[in-house]
Amino acid sequence: MSETSNKYTFGMIGLGTMGRNLLLNMADHGFAVAGFDKNPAQVALLEKEGHGKPVKAFTSAHDFVQSLQTPRSIIMLVPAGKIVDSVIKEMTPLLDKGDILIDGGNSHFTDTTRRVTELEAKGLHFFGMGISGGEEGARKGPSMMPGGDKQAYSQMKPVFDAIAAKVDGEPCVTYIGPGAAGHFVKMVHNGIEYGLMQLIAETYELLKNGLKFDNDAIHKVFEKWDEGRLQSFLIDITKDIFAFKAPGTDHLLVDDIKDEARAKGTGKWTSQVAMDLETPITTIDTAVAMRDLSKYKQLREKAATLYSTEETQLDNDNTDTIVAELEKAFFFSMIITYSQGMHLLQKASKDFQYNLNLDEIAKIWRGGCIIRSLFLNDIFNAYQKDPSLQHLLLDGKVKELIAEALPGARSIVSKATAAGIAMPAYASSLSYFDAFRSKRMPSNLIQAQRDYFGAHTYELIGKEGVFHTQWLAENEEDLIHNT
């Protein structure tokens, strides 16, 4: 196949780890594909790994575009932000009306909304598509969340269905919704990912410092959990981490890694938009905050010398019971984390008119993606049974699961707090649940305070209207009046 034969069915801009592996995945499924990257080393690597496959790589944007069948279908896998706009600016003059351009990176959904409008005006089909699964997922089958131009998605559907991860024979990809729906759902996926990772890190903290487990014992805990109801990708890889020794060493690599967690921003974006939509996701917020706190290592080291306390550990004579409680506590907190994410999706679906099908989202998350887990089957069943379910915690089956796991969550949070072991995501999950199930929260006092210092008014139980009180008024008739 020559470079100008116009027989490549799909193009990829950006031949880094994700782009290159996704392109090879397509080639494995019989699609003739072309890739473009300005870095000759990336081009050479694709040519090498794609040897014998229907793959061609280019360093020339013009030659790359001309090699594709028309109407052209191109996906960008480049870093989010200004680079995406730069690539679009470079490619647009080379494209024709009717061509399809897809942003497969982790772009902020507001940027995607803007780009949809801009490219529609130029006659180009554009949509944002969240892709989850990392390097292995891209190569062997990711979970994909395309949203935006439905006509363009329909044209790309055979390719996406072929390369996606499969669960029960069904591809882990579906049309998410209009506009930036695909990138919004991927952002929330990553927020849930933050929450689950923080819970696992806190579990490690309790096992290591609370129960004084060595790495082998910690490995066995995660190995056992991965065989039960906690089965998930993140538990699985954690099990592997606690068995991996760097070549030439006699200890685990994890013990050499600095305790400063990095982030690319999607967790923060999830928290920010949740606050804009007035939808609490406290476990995810806590996870974002703990990553930020981890970066202040020098301050933490200074504080450790100032506030050093006598070390307290949990009852090592009762480790089996504590580990059993910890399994329940993790399961409880995991449910809360997913529930918060699904609630945010429901609120965004209404406010942004995304028309999200939460059952379909849970369905495609069951394979390929980072947050895939056995529990997603329960989420899928809950929303398929009741598409209008207002909150996952209101589902009957989930209620039963919560009731069984709740005592373990209460016990672990209590014991960890008494021992001085930080488990903020666990504690936040428990507090969220207790507030969520509260028929009457203490927020009436907050409203009274707001009215007292700022005349912000309040509403009364069983009485229509909005009221304001002169809290320091001398005459009774001046105390309360309807505004």
193 flagged as catalytic: yes
7 is catalytic: no
Nearest residue to 183 via CA among 336, 86, 29, 76 = 76
Q: Residue 113: how many CA atoms within 13 Å on its side-chain side?
A: 8
Which residue among the candidates 166, 170, 186, 328 is catalytic per the annotation? Answer: 186
d(CA 356, CA 347): 10
Tell me the C-alpha distance between 309 and 287, whole Å. 25
Instruction: Answer yes or no: are the C-beta atoms of 149 and 119 closer than 8 Å.
Output: no
User: Pick the catalytic residue: 7, 90, 193, 350?
Assistant: 193
Alpha carbon 271 to its chain centroid, in Å, reads: 11
Dist. CA 167–CA 173, nearest whole Å: 11
Q: Which residues are catalytic?
A: 186, 193
